[in-house]
Structure 1
């Protein structure tokens, strides 16, 4: 049970966070119907916080609401939608990095390196934990653009990356792909730390190209 005696806003926030996490890690699958009564019982709250949480997820495009059908997890993006998402990511991420390379502090860089080290540890393990890698990968990229100090850029990027994170989860991530991603991540951090704008943009652009080629080549269907 999420908790009793908690203000309704708090119950809504907790319901939202729980449902969002379940969508991002695959416990709630793409296109799965979301019944308020069932979720209310599972989370130990009334219908109202669940409905409010679901409406918040609708605004993030993680959940859809259809007349006479109710709420459901948003289906996986098809290949064309994924291409458009990655195109938008390129514009937002590279634009943010152009500012991050100027404004990043030593504290920013230390936080980024800590996440990078955790990713290195996962890649070095005997079996890749895909869910953990994807979560840390998303955190890494978010931290590289946060130093741009523009909440609109950061917010726009965050809206996009959750769908990319879900797509990655359902396509898997071979160990070789993760190792390549880490090589590219290190190049991004090195250029950011050196304040080398041109090298940073080139490194980030190559990384986005690699992601685009792999995801577009694998299609958009959920494995059976």
Structure 2
């Protein structure tokens, strides 16, 4: 089933990216069993690349491997675990932004502006495209973190954000909450562009608090 001339690593990467995307956008639901034989047929590759892809996803905690049961999509976090995750996000994201405000280049800022403009366009539509908004929302925040130029901070942030993206997808996001999120996003970009550390920390802290309240069920869901 392996394509001629295609390295096995390439097939593993393709299977990994496809399965990861399906988990993040909800096509593979939390706790869903992942049968290697079925996935192999769907993806058109042999069992080995699928198994290797699932092992990579297991290391990212997006997939769970249980004895005698095999692979399954990691269940949604409960409220307590979600709160702990959000606390960790606060520490990592604010720490990264503390460096980003000093190191961000005009190229970094242009990339953030482009994503923010796309988010504005989605929010302006009469029917909110939740999946697209969540994907771009995640991209926006990662682009504000990457100028810190610290691979360990960025890696730690990446480990958390995939689970936040899944939580956002399953908890929904009313249009009014998305509009408020955009106000907060613009405040973050304005402070970052101005090099105003205090304003950036304040804007990012308020945004994290708002998102935490929504996802933990302490206010309107996001």
Q: Please indicate the TM-score interval, normalised by the length of the shorter structure.
A: over 0.9
Q: Which residue of the partner structure matches residue 101 of structure 2?
A: 101
Q: Which residue of the partner structure matches residue 85 of structure 1?
A: 85
Query: Any idea what the Cα deviations from partners look like across 1:90-135, whole Å, max 9, x if unmatched?
Result: 0000000000000000000000000000000000011100000000
Distance 2:109 2:218 in 1: 33
TM-score (norm 1): 0.96
**Any unmatched runs of 5+ in structure 1?**
220-224
Aligned length: 219
* Contact 2:145/2:154, CA 8 A, preserved across alignment: yes
TM-score (norm 2): 0.97
* Contact 2:85/2:160, CA 8 A, preserved across alignment: yes
* Contact 2:2/2:46, CA 8 A, preserved across alignment: no
CA-based RMSD: 1.3
* Contact 2:101/2:197, CA 8 A, preserved across alignment: yes
Distance 1:196 1:85 in 2: 27
Is residue 2:19 matched to residue 1:19?
Answer: yes
Distance 1:30 1:3 in 2: 31
Query: Any idea what the Cα deviations from partners look like across 1:53-111, whole Å, max 9, x if unmatched?
Result: 00000000000000000000000000000000000000000000000000000000000
**Any unmatched runs of 5+ in structure 2?**
none
* Contact 1:171/1:218, CA 8 A, preserved across alignment: no
Q: Which residue of the partner structure matches residue 196 of structure 1?
A: 196
Instruction: Give the secondary structure class of the aligned counterpart of 1:217.
Output: coil
* Contact 1:12/1:53, CA 8 A, preserved across alignment: yes
Q: How does 1:55-134 map to 2 (within 5 A)?
A: 55-134=55-134
Deviation at 1:5, TM superposition (A): 3.0
CA 1:173–1:149: 2 relative to 1, 3 Å: same
Distance 2:41 2:90 in 1: 41
Deviation at 1:146, TM superposition (A): 0.3
Deviation at 1:217, TM superposition (A): 1.0
